[in-house]
Amino acid sequence: MTLETSVNTHTHPGQATRPTVLMCRPEHFTVSYRINPWMHPEDPTDTSLAVKQWTTLYNTYVDLGFTVHLIESIPGLPDMVYAANGGFVLDGIAYGAQFHYPERQPEGPAYMEWFRAQGLDVREPESTNEGEGDFLLVGDTILAASGFRSDTSSHQEIANIYSREVVSLQLVNPSYYHLDTALAVIDETTIAYLPSAFDEASLSILRERYPEAIIATEEDAAFLGLNSFSDGHNVVIAERATTFARDLADRGYNPIGVDLSELLLGGGGVKCCTLELRA
Ligand code: ARG
């Protein structure tokens, strides 16, 4: 079977593409360990509610015309639902993940096996990195973060693999431990971000490169509102992120709110559940 991947057909910002994404149904979701401040293993979780909310996200993507692939969830890997961390896929090459915390380490090979089965060119990681959690493509540039999960050495590794410009950013707030919790890619030239999640040097870079960026509020970020997925026009976001929704609508985008409150208990939202597969 060959993998159908997204072809970027952008001609101007604001035009919808039809991405191809990978998701993982949260059949084994729970919070049994604590590797980010959102997780409280002592509190109960509801796996069937997680599946129900996740299914709404899945159906939203299907209705938008996305191609959605699924990877089988593995018992004992409750965070596998956060598919964004499973790797980074661009140019038909899959750069595998090497997770920071032992609890998630078996996910790396599981995702690489899936990529291989789809005929992708898989590159085994040498550096610790958590895939699209910390690497985001904006136009032709890869924004790469470290601070809590991915090592800075992975920024060089990804630059070597894709021969793209890689911009290193430093995260400073443990609640926004992955880049995709602090920064959203809206289209090829537009991003949204939470300034307080970055160090001063990173902020200067972001301000200079993206002077028109949407600046997120602390309130919206606290629902992981930035953890969103855009096709260039439709932006799927946490439904509680109301200021972000209004800012997107003001600029001509179509925000679509979904409720993933159960998956927020693991510290993840819309984007975390979504790994883009790019041709
Ligand atoms: N519990 C998971 C972790 O801490 C959540 C991952 C969220 N994923 C993301 N792309 N931000 O690793």
**What are 210-268's pLDDT values in tens digits?**
999 999 999 999 999 999 999 999 999 999 999 999 999 999 999 999 999 999 999 99
Q: Please state, in angstroms and as integers, the Cα–Cα distance from residue 268 to each residue in 87, 189, 251, 261, following that order.
A: 16, 25, 26, 9
102 lies in some domain? yes
Q: How far apart are CA 36 and CA 179, in angstroms?
A: 14
Total domains in the chain come to 1
State residue 68 phi and psi, 5-degree precision. -115, 115
Q: Please state, in angstroms and as integers, the Cα–Cα distance from residue 36 to each residue in 31, 41, 177, 265, following that order.
A: 11, 11, 7, 10
Average pLDDT, the chain: 95
* Domain that residue 112 falls in: 20-276
Q: How far apart are CA 2 and CA 118, in angstroms?
A: 6
- Per-residue pLDDT band for 137 (boundaries 50, 70, 90) equals very high
10 lies in some domain? no
Does the beta carbon of 268 lie inside 6 Å of ligand 1?
yes
pLDDT at residue number 7: 45
Q: What is the mean pLDDT of residues 264-273?
A: 98
Of 89, 110, 85, residue with least CA distance to 271: 85
Q: How far apart are CA 82 and CA 90, in angstroms?
A: 19
- Per-residue pLDDT band for 1 (boundaries 50, 70, 90) equals very low
Whether 170 shows a pLDDT value over 60: the answer reads yes
Q: Strand, coil or helix: what is 105?
A: coil
- pTM across the whole model: 0.94
Which residue's CA is the closest to the ligand 1 atom numbered 1? 266
Q: What is the mean pLDDT of residues 158-169?
A: 97
Quick one: tokens of 21? 């994404």
Percentage of the residues of the chain whose pLDDT score is greater than 70: 95
> Does residue 272 carry a catalytic annotation?
yes
Tens of pLDDT along 75-134?
Answer: 999 999 999 999 999 999 999 999 999 999 999 999 999 999 999 999 999 999 999 999
Q: What is the mean pLDDT of residues 25-44?
A: 98
Does the beta carbon of 267 lie inside 6 Å of ligand 1?
yes
Does the beta carbon of 35 lie inside 6 Å of ligand 1?
yes
**Which CATH number fits the domain that encloses residue 226?**
3.75.10.10
Span from the CA of 222 to the centroid of ligand 1 (angstroms): 15
229 lies in some domain? yes
265 lies in some domain? yes
Residues 6+ apart with CB under 8 A from 65: 18
pLDDT at residue number 279: 85
Task: Give the other-Cβ count within 10 Å of 44's Cβ.
Answer: 8
153 lies in some domain? yes
Does the beta carbon of 79 lie inside 6 Å of ligand 1?
yes
3 lies in some domain? no
Q: What is the mean pLDDT of residues 1-22?
A: 64
> Does residue 178 carry a catalytic annotation?
yes
117 lies in some domain? yes
Span from the CA of 12 to the centroid of ligand 1 (angstroms): 32
Q: Using most ligand atoms within 8 A of CB, pick from 73, 79, 128, 226 the residue to mutate for ligand 1.
A: 79
Which residue's CA is the closest to the ligand 1 atom numbered 9? 272
Whether 11 shows a pLDDT value over 50: the answer reads no
Whether 68 shows a pLDDT value over 70: the answer reads yes
Span from the CA of 178 to the centroid of ligand 1 (angstroms): 7
Q: Using most ligand atoms within 8 A of CB, pick from 104, 181, 272 the residue to mutate for ligand 1.
A: 272
- Per-residue pLDDT band for 17 (boundaries 50, 70, 90) equals very high
pLDDT at residue number 208: 98
175 lies in some domain? yes
